[in-house]
Amino acid sequence: MNDNFAQNLDEKAPERTMLIAHVLFREKPAEVPVSELQKAVEKILGDVEIVYDAPKAPFFALKNYRSTFKKEEGKEYKNSVDNGDGTVSMPVTANFIIGEEFDPKKVDAFTRSQFWDYKGNIDEFKYQVASFGMLSSGMDYKLQAELFVKQIEVVLSCFPEAEVIYVPHSGKLTSVENFRQVTGESLSVRFIRTAINARFFRIENSEDAVIDTLGFFAFGAPDIQIHFHGLNPNSVVSYVYSIASLQFKEDFPVKSGDTIDGLDDSGNFSRTIQWSARYENALIQPVRTVLDINCGKYAAGRRQM
């Protein structure tokens, strides 16, 4: 896409945000009894207790997913267990909002410019089933990601006519077919394929470009960024996704000042080429912490090392 956009660096990403998937439909999906939805939840997420059985907004307490929070004096914690160490734990709920209208006009041009994984038109989709986990922020990030992916599985098992999945916090739009292609793959592959967006920007009046990820900030983790010239952008996108997978699988191990394997002149990983990395503010909105990778002779922009 060749649209020009002015930066809005007043737009800051929240430190954390809820992971929400909007599963989209061209026509209003058929109604599914809450009992059928509950069966799907139990099959995919384990033992549940139904909390609210409204057909259009049911939600279920999940016995296998519990969040832990620091106790605040005077605050009441319903259905919680006191852990005796100043924290309480409580079940996460799997929430679904079914058959609501989806307004594609609310998806702005900046976000649309980074739809790389789905080549169709989001304007063709008028209805949605939204899924999210309430209270999930008190879980480890991998459990948050697992719940996010499995709730999408629940939706697709009950609403097979769904076609695309839109994740607003990362601006990722991907097909249901793409989601299903990685069934059986690792959690990092499935979550990143669905919820983490690698974005590509050319810097006006220069040969420089920025590729970054958007999405890890949802659970307080850093995204990834490369400011470069002279490399094949497709190779850099693959590289960024590989680093994202490493970070996710290994509990975000890269520290400021570390070096990591870089790319050779053909765009292939090379252990003999080491690029330095450090944490800083993102170059492209929204402002958030990113792992900036200095790609050696291909690096663009001024850097303070």
28 with 176, same domain?
Answer: yes
Residue 243 domain flag: yes
Residue 4 domain flag: no
**Taking 70 as the threshold, does the pLDDT of residue 35 lie above it?**
yes
Domain count, the chain: 2
Rounded Cα–Cα distance for residues 59 and 153 (Å): 15
Cβ(141)–Cβ(8) below 8 Å: no
Rounded Cα–Cα distance for residues 194 and 191 (Å): 5
> Domain boundary residue among 167, 195, 223?
195
210 with 125, same domain?
Answer: no
Q: Which domain holds residue 129?
A: 20-195
Q: What is the mean pLDDT of residues 76-94?
A: 86
Q: Tell me the per-residue pLDDT of 175-216, one tens digit each, with 9 for 90 and over.
A: 999 999 999 999 999 999 999 999 999 988 888 999 999 999
φ, ψ of residue 155 to 5 degrees: the values are: -60, -45
Q: Tell me the per-residue pLDDT of 92-128, one tens digit each, with 9 for 90 and over.
A: 999 999 999 999 999 999 999 999 999 999 999 999 9
Residues 6+ apart with CB under 8 A from 294: 275, 276, 277, 278, 303, 305
Cβ(94)–Cβ(60) below 8 Å: yes
120 with 226, same domain?
Answer: no
- DSSP 8-state symbol, 259: E
181 with 241, same domain?
Answer: no
71 with 60, same domain?
Answer: yes
Residue 15 domain flag: no
156 with 81, same domain?
Answer: yes
pLDDT at site 76: 74
> Domain boundary residue among 163, 195, 227?
195
Q: CA separation (Å) from 216 to 35, 102, 157, 223?
A: 34, 25, 27, 5
- Give Rg (Cα) of the chain: 21
44 with 175, same domain?
Answer: yes
Q: Tell me the per-residue pLDDT of 56-65, one tens digit each, with 9 for 90 and over.
A: 999 999 999 9
**87-101 and 59-70 beta bridge pairing:** antiparallel
Rounded Cα–Cα distance for residues 232 and 211 (Å): 11
169 with 242, same domain?
Answer: no
Residue 8 domain flag: no
174 with 187, same domain?
Answer: yes
25 with 155, same domain?
Answer: yes
Quick one: angle between helices 34-45 and 141-158, nearest 10? 140
Residues in the chain: 305
Alpha-carbon torsion (255, 257, 259, 265), positive or negative: positive
- Residue 302, by phi and psi: left (phi above 0), alpha (psi -120 to 50) or beta? beta
Residue 83 domain flag: yes
Predicted model pTM? 0.93
Whether omega for the bond prior to residue 33 falls within 30 degrees of 0, making it cis, is no
